[in-house]
Structure 1
Amino acid sequence: MTASTFPEPEVPTFSIVVPAYNEDSVLEAFHARLAATLDRLGETAEVIYINDGSHDRTRPVLDRLQTRDPRVAVIDLSRNFGKEVALTAGLHHARGQAVIVIDADLQDPPELIPELVAPWRERGVDVVYAQRIARAGESWLKRATAHLFYRLMQHVGRVHLPPDTGDYRLLSRRAVEALNQYPEQHRFMKGLFTWIGFEQVAVRYERDPRFAGRTKWSYAKLVNLAIEGITSFTSAPLRFASILGLAIAGLAFVDALWIIYKTLRYGDPVAGYPSLMTTILFLGGVQLTAIGILGEYLGRVFDETKHRPLYHVKDYRPARLGRVREPMVRDDGPAAGE
């Protein structure tokens, strides 16, 4: 008996992965610019929007875009899992020979995509990342803290995190398959993009201010993301706590020798209350800080041991591009009487 024969689904040249959380005010404008850029490229493409548990009209807008553009695919997650997990869901579903990750807020211009494509197409570069030379529309505090974080990661991290680089980049198929092998719960995608290795080059650009709506990244979320990045790719905080503890123990030993010397030479003076309280509070603060650092790493170990799924998909509507509706040839075996 001959097996049924179906045509292979068309594999698009590009998959564009776009996480979206409460972005109904910008999606129409974003897709118009993205679609125009893809039209100029002249290659087959799918645009995968991941609705990360939005509470506004993001999903109806995505449905409307999918009705108008057969390249659009929509992944609707069961709740808000966060941008890092939404990106992961998009990478899991991407079918393209190359995958481009971009935010929907239009701070990263879709018109830069041909420049990201060129090194991959001409030289086979696996990762082409967009590096900012200017960050329009951001406060001095956000720029300063971002600068500090990237430089800190360069000195203490186990991977070289390119400075002033976000998620906007192109990944080859083998780079995406490498990323999809990482199952960890606490995901810092900028670090994982670098961790996989392969040849990586930068394309420099000026980042635009947000087109519409409000940023979803409060300072508290940015601090949490920085902690994720540091604890995911370096054990430097644990080492720092150990070194600090040894240094304080050494100072305490020297101070004890000094107290013994003064007692033997001058008698037993009355201890000063202010200096005693300062020492107690300082040591208590150091101990609590060290315990907190240990707790951060222990909490991550606890989360990883549970092996929970990273996300759940409530609805997935693939792009109509390349879908197979009916078999072209079908052979159910020999006819009756043969």
Structure 2
Amino acid sequence: MSDFVSGHPASSIVIPAYNESARIDATLREVVDCIRSGGWNAEVIVVNDGSTDTTARQVLDFSITAPEVRLLENPGNHGKGYSVRHGLLQARGEIVMFTDADLSAPIREAERLFDAINNGAEIAIGSRWLDRSRQIHRQPVYRQFFGRCFNLITRMVMGLHFADTQCGFKAFTRRAAQTVFQLQTIEGWGFDPEILFIAGKRHLRTVEVPVTWRHDERTHVSYLRDGVHMLREMAIIRWNALLGRYNGPVRPVEWPTV
């Protein structure tokens, strides 16, 4: 087992969390076990998005014996996009990534994203659809249908030619993350197409990586409810692009203090 190395870790794993008390302990155990058994020099940042349950307290309790883990608090409930941006802009790793709290993509699959970054990509996004044989537990048919429809719309409206824009498993070089997330404006579930759109506008090399994936029935995403919001957010992204909001300067990359 490797010890967490103080200073600047090689990688940062950001986990957005809202009312995750039922599974956050198991998630953190799995992530920390993977870090230690794999000898990763990594930090884990849990971003609490105004949870009304015991999520924050559980993370703090867990961090007592796991110095790899730290907690960031949002000022209230702002959404997954806000949480991911907050975490990645505060991350200290040379490679930074985010993953969903349900670990639908097992955390060991992060090595596939890291390998893509180390081989020249600036952004590596996990994909459920490039290799369907890697899906351990597939979504219900109706969710697959809505997911594919949404992907088709993103291709047509956003010009994003990826098989899977919504997989919550993405990694970035530190410079790419600082560039993309400083320009991000969408704070809800529709932030994924925006950050990929920004990456294209800023000419950041983005590759799609097939990952093992299992559907979790406890997912917070509703394709009917959240799908309507995402469509509205895509219109906002196109409007932002027309106004040139993704072309502006970004601040130099700085190392956050803890």
TM-score normalised over the length of structure 1: 0.62
1:154 corresponds to 2:155:
yes
The residue identity in structure 2 corresponding to 1:126 is E
Residue pair 1:128, 1:171 contacting (<8 A) in 2 also: yes
Match of residue 94 from structure 1? 91
Q: How does 1:18-33 map to 2 (within 5 A)?
A: 18-33=15-30
Match of residue 3 from structure 2? none
Which of 185, 188, 191 aligns to 1:189? It is 191
For residues 234-267 of structure 1, the C-alpha deviation after alignment (integer angstroms, 9 at most, x for no partner) is 36xxxxxxxxxxxxxxxxxxxxxxxxxxxxxxxx
The residue identity in structure 2 corresponding to 1:176 is A
Residue pair 2:184, 2:195 contacting (<8 A) in 1 also: no
Alpha-carbon distance, 1:161 to partner: 4.8
Secondary structure at 1:234 match in 2: helix
The residue identity in structure 1 corresponding to 2:170 is R
Match of residue 226 from structure 1? 230
RMSD: 2.6
Which of 189, 195, 205 aligns to 1:199? It is 205
Unaligned residue ranges in structure 2 (runs of 5+): 1-5, 246-255
**Counterparts of 1:173 and 1:185, CA distance in 2:** 20
- In our comparison, the structure showing a higher alpha carbon Rg is 1
**Counterparts of 1:84 and 1:43, CA distance in 2:** 26
Alpha-carbon distance, 1:117 to partner: 1.0
Change (3 A) 1:83 1:186: closer
Which of 103, 108, 123 aligns to 1:106? It is 103
Residue pair 1:48, 1:75 contacting (<8 A) in 2 also: yes
For residues 36-66 of structure 1, the C-alpha deviation after alignment (integer angstroms, 9 at most, x for no partner) is 2212432321100011111222112111111
Secondary structure at 1:69 match in 2: coil
The residue identity in structure 1 corresponding to 2:213 is R
TM-score normalised over the length of structure 2: 0.79
Change (3 A) 1:30 1:81: same
Residue pair 1:18, 1:49 contacting (<8 A) in 2 also: yes
Change (3 A) 1:161 1:17: farther
Alpha-carbon distance, 1:193 to partner: 2.8
1:77 corresponds to 2:74:
yes
Change (3 A) 1:219 1:156: closer
Secondary structure at 2:182 match in 1: coil
**Counterparts of 1:40 and 1:179, CA distance in 2:** 31
For residues 258-306 of structure 1, the C-alpha deviation after alignment (integer angstroms, 9 at most, x for no partner) is xxxxxxxxxxxxxxxxxxxxxxxxxxxxxxxxxxxxxxx9xxx9xx9xx
Match of residue 164 from structure 2? 164
Residue pair 2:50, 2:77 contacting (<8 A) in 1 also: yes
Match of residue 175 from structure 1? 176
Secondary structure at 1:163 match in 2: coil
Alpha-carbon distance, 1:137 to partner: 4.9
1:217 corresponds to 2:221:
yes
Alpha-carbon distance, 1:160 to partner: 1.2
Change (3 A) 1:160 1:219: closer
Quick one: higher RCO (CA 8 Å, sep 6+), 1 or 2?
A: 1
Alpha-carbon distance, 1:127 to partner: 0.8
Which is further off, 101-110 or 127-136?
A: 127-136
Tell me the percent identity. 24
Higher helix share: 1
**Count of matched residue pairs:** 229
Secondary structure at 2:211 match in 1: strand
